[in-house]
Structure 1
């Protein structure tokens, strides 16, 4: 696939010192491959389960992103990139361009006004009490 993202050698040289080493357990997927998959998901906005198989199993890509986020890996890596002279200029997308699912829209009808407690207490009653008692009405049937 031509539209896959892969880290360059210079990018990997900056990131590699932050990677965990000598991890226990079975043979791990290549960290460079997994980070490329994480960046692909974040750039394209696809779901984790739709991550292309060239990056490894989608669960591995997601679990490593989660684990590294909790350990502060991304903050340390970005700090190192800034220290190495990376220009971290922000990129923004106009909200009119971003597509959202139908259910992501706001509530219908605009904001609702809350009634003041004073208005509720001070308002006239909405209905009138019957002047006849229940027993008197019952006997008329």
Structure 2
């Protein structure tokens, strides 16, 4: 995924397809369900670029900002997002892309107050 993020390739999607719960059936009314691949493309775009929700690209491979945000909340609640993170870390570790000998902790955002 070097360079500009243009969405997941078919091979990349196959790595994560089984992480997500079965897609719900059509609800009958309202907007159709956004495919998980489009939602993941949108969430990865936000994480990679740091853009705002309102700046998500529009097109065939992207989900709307409301769908993306709604699925992010659901996946964080039901553990899907943590499962996805574990899968990514496992793949990166297996490929030797992570050096586990070093680590960094940034305490500048810590709510901890100093002893007085």
User: TM-score scaled by structure 2?
Assistant: 0.63
- Among candidates 80, 84, 98, match of residue 87 of structure 2: 80
1:60 paired with 2:67, answer yes
Q: Unpaired segments of 5 or more residues in structure 2?
A: 100-115
Residue 16 of structure 2 aligns with which residue? 15
Structure 2 Cα separation of the partners of residues 36 and 13 of structure 1: 13
Q: Which has the higher contact order (CA 8 A, sep 6+)?
A: 2
User: TM-score scaled by structure 1?
Assistant: 0.53
Structure 2 Cα separation of the partners of residues 83 and 57 of structure 1: 29
Where do residues 112-127 of structure 1 align in structure 2 (5 Å cutoff)?
Answer: none
Q: Unpaired segments of 5 or more residues in structure 1?
A: 91-113, 115-141
Structure 2 Cα separation of the partners of residues 59 and 86 of structure 1: 35
Give 1:83 shift: 5.8
1:50 paired with 2:55, answer yes
Residue deviations 1:51-108 (CA, integer Å, cap 9, x gap): 1122121111111111111111121123234068355638xxxxxxxxxxxxxxxxxx
| Count of equivalent residues | 92
Residue 105 of structure 2 aligns with which residue? none
